[in-house]
Chains A and B, each alone.
Chain A
Amino acid sequence: MLDWTFCVDGPLPIPSDPTLLMEHPTTAPDVPLKNRSLAALLALTWPGMGHVYQGRKAKGLLYFLCIFGLYAVGFALGEGANVYWTWVNPLRNPEHFRLYYLGQFWVGLPAWPALIQATLIHQGFQPLFNGFMAAPMLDPTMDNGVREVMQEVVRRVFSLHQKYGGLKEIGDIYTTIAGLLNVLAIYDAFEGPAVRQEATSTADVSSTSEAESA
Chain B
Amino acid sequence: MWVPLPEFTFLLGLINAYWFAPPLILVISLVYAASRHEAWPLIFRHATRLFLMIAGILALVTVILLVINTQV
Contact = CB atoms under 8 A, between A and B. Distances in A.
B39 interface: yes
A167 B13 contact: yes
A170 B17 contact: yes
Given A9-B45, A167-B9, A62 B34 contact: yes
A200 B5 CA distance: 43
Contacts of B40: 58
Interface residues of A, number: 46
Contacts, number: 107
B18 to A, nearest CB: 10
Interface string A35-62: 0000000000000000000001011001
Interface in B1-53: 1-3, 5-6, 8-10, 12-13, 17, 20, 23-24, 27-28, 30-32, 34-42, 45-46, 49
A187 B5 CA distance: 33
B24 to A, nearest CB: 7
Chain A interface mostly: helix
B34 to A, nearest CB: 6
- Of B12, B38, B41, the most chain A CB neighbours within 10 A belong to B38
Contact of B39 (A177, A194, A198): A198
A67 interface: yes
A188 B10 CA distance: 36
Contacts of B46: 8-9
Given A62-B30, A63-B34, A185-B31, A164 B9 contact: yes
Interface in A60-114: 62-63, 66-67, 69-70, 73, 75-77, 79-81
Given A63-B34, A198-B42, A181 B28 contact: yes
Contacts of A188: 34-35
B44 to A, nearest CB: 10
A181 B49 contact: no
A66 B31 CA distance: 7
Contacts of A31: 38
Q: Which 4 residue pairs spanning A and B have beta carbons closest together?
A: A80-B3, A129-B1, A184-B35, A188-B35
Interface of B: 1-3, 5-6, 8-10, 12-13, 17, 20, 23-24, 27-28, 30-32, 34-42, 45-46, 49
